[in-house]
A and B are shown apart, each in its own frame.
Chain A
Amino acid sequence: MQNWNLYSRGDKLFVRINAVLIGLFALSTLYPFIYIASVSFSSAFAARAGKVVLTPIDVTLSAYAHVLSEPQFWNSYGNTFIYTIGGTLTSLLIIIPGAYALSRPQLIGRRFWNLMIAFTMWFHAGMIPFWLNMRDLGLLDSMIGIIIAFACNAFNIILLRNFFESIPQSFEEAARMDGANEFQVLWKVFVPLSKPAIATITLFCVVARWNGFFWAMILLTDEGKVPLQVYLRQTIADLSDDEEFSSTLIDAAYSVETVTAAIIVCSIIPVLCFYPFIQKYFNKGIMLGGVKE
Chain B
Amino acid sequence: MSGVLLQNIVKAYGAAQVVHGINLTVQEKEFVVLVGPSGCGKSTTLRMIAGLEEITEGQLSIYGKVVNRIAPKDRDVAMVFQNYALYPHLNVADNMAFGLRIRKMPKPEIKQQIKNVAEILELTDYLERRPADLSGGQRQRVAMGRAIVRHPKVFLFDEPLSNLDAKLRTQMRAEIRRLHNRLGVTSIYVTHDQVEAMTLADRIVVMNDGRIEQVGTPMELFMNPANIFVAGFLGSPPMNQMPGTVTEKGVEIDGIIIAVSGNLSAQVGRKVIVGIRPEHVSLQKEKGTTALPINLDLVEPLGSEALLHAQFGAHQLVFKTETQGSIDHLSDVSEVYVHASMVKLFDAETGEALPL
Indicate whether A and B interact. Answer: yes
Do the beta carbons of A192 and B89 come within 8 Å of each other?
Answer: yes
Do the beta carbons of A173 and B89 come within 8 Å of each other?
Answer: no
Is A171 part of the contact surface with B, judged by Cβ < 8 Å? yes
Q: Which B residues from 301 to 332 make CB contacts under 8 A with A? A: none
Do the beta carbons of B72 and A176 come within 8 Å of each other?
Answer: yes
Q: Which residue of A lies closest to B80 (CB)?
A: A174
**A181 CB to nearest chain B CB (Å):** 9
Do the beta carbons of A174 and B81 come within 8 Å of each other?
Answer: yes
Known contacts being A174-B81, A177-B79, is A193 close to B88, with CB within 8 Å? Answer: yes
Do the beta carbons of B50 and A177 come within 8 Å of each other?
Answer: yes
Q: Which A residues from 120 to 179 make CB contacts under 8 A with B? A: 168, 170-171, 173-179
**B142 CB to nearest chain A CB (Å):** 12
Complex contacts, A178 vs chain B, CB 8 Å: 73, 98-99, 102-103, 146, 150
Do the beta carbons of B85 and A168 come within 8 Å of each other?
Answer: yes
Is A189 part of the contact surface with B, judged by Cβ < 8 Å? yes
Complex contacts, B103 vs chain A, CB 8 Å: 178-179
Complex contacts, B51 vs chain A, CB 8 Å: 177
Measured between alpha carbons, how far is A188 from B79 in the docked complex, in Å?
19
Measured between alpha carbons, how far is A193 from B98 in the docked complex, in Å?
15
Return the CB mask of B90-103 against A: 1 if under 8 Å, else 0: 10000000110011
Q: Which residue of A lies closest to B73 (CB)?
A: A179
Q: Which residue of B lies closest to A176 (CB)?
A: B72
Complex contacts, B87 vs chain A, CB 8 Å: 171, 189, 192-193
**A164 CB to nearest chain B CB (Å):** 15
Q: Which residue of A lies closest to B79 (CB)?
A: A177
Complex contacts, A192 vs chain B, CB 8 Å: 87, 89-90
Is A184 part of the contact surface with B, judged by Cβ < 8 Å? yes
Cross-chain contact of B89 among A170, A177, A179, A193 (Cβ < 8 A): A193
Is B24 part of the contact surface with A, judged by Cβ < 8 Å? no
**Which bucket holds chain A's interface residue count?**
10 to 19
Measured between alpha carbons, how far is A168 from B73 in the docked complex, in Å?
19
**A81 CB to nearest chain B CB (Å):** 30
Do the beta carbons of B77 and A177 come within 8 Å of each other?
Answer: yes
Measured between alpha carbons, how far is A38 from B71 in the docked complex, in Å?
66
Cross-chain contact of A184 among B50, B72, B102 (Cβ < 8 A): B102
Measured between alpha carbons, how far is A179 from B104 in the docked complex, in Å?
10
Complex contacts, B78 vs chain A, CB 8 Å: 177
**A216 CB to nearest chain B CB (Å):** 37
Cross-chain contact of A170 among B72, B73, B85, B99 (Cβ < 8 A): B85
Is B83 part of the contact surface with A, judged by Cβ < 8 Å? yes
Complex contacts, A288 vs chain B, CB 8 Å: none
Measured between alpha carbons, how far is A196 from B99 in the docked complex, in Å?
25
Is B66 part of the contact surface with A, judged by Cβ < 8 Å? no
Measured between alpha carbons, how far is A32 from B81 in the docked complex, in Å?
56
Q: Which residue of A lies closest to B102 (CB)?
A: A179
Of A171, A174, A179, chain B has the most CB atoms within 10 Å of the CB of A174
Is A217 part of the contact surface with B, judged by Cβ < 8 Å? no
Do the beta carbons of B102 and A170 come within 8 Å of each other?
Answer: no
Measured between alpha carbons, how far is A173 from B102 in the docked complex, in Å?
14
Of B73, B82, B85, chain A has the most CB atoms within 10 Å of the CB of B85
- Measured CB to CB, the residues of B under 8 A from A are 50-52, 71-73, 77-79, 81-83, 85, 87-90, 98-99, 102-103, 146, 150
- Top 4 nearest A-B pairs by Cβ distance? A178-B99, A179-B73, A174-B85, A170-B85
Q: 20 extra interchain contacts, Cβ-Cβ under 8 A, other than A173-B72, A174-B81?
A: A171-B85, A171-B87, A173-B50, A173-B79, A173-B81, A174-B85, A174-B146, A175-B98, A176-B72, A177-B51, A177-B52, A178-B73, A178-B98, A178-B103, A178-B146, A179-B99, A179-B102, A180-B73, A180-B98, A184-B102
**What are 20 A-to-B residue pairs whose CB atoms are below 8 Å?**
A170-B81, A170-B83, A171-B87, A173-B72, A173-B79, A173-B85, A174-B81, A174-B85, A174-B146, A176-B73, A177-B51, A177-B79, A178-B73, A178-B99, A179-B99, A179-B103, A184-B102, A188-B102, A192-B90, A193-B89
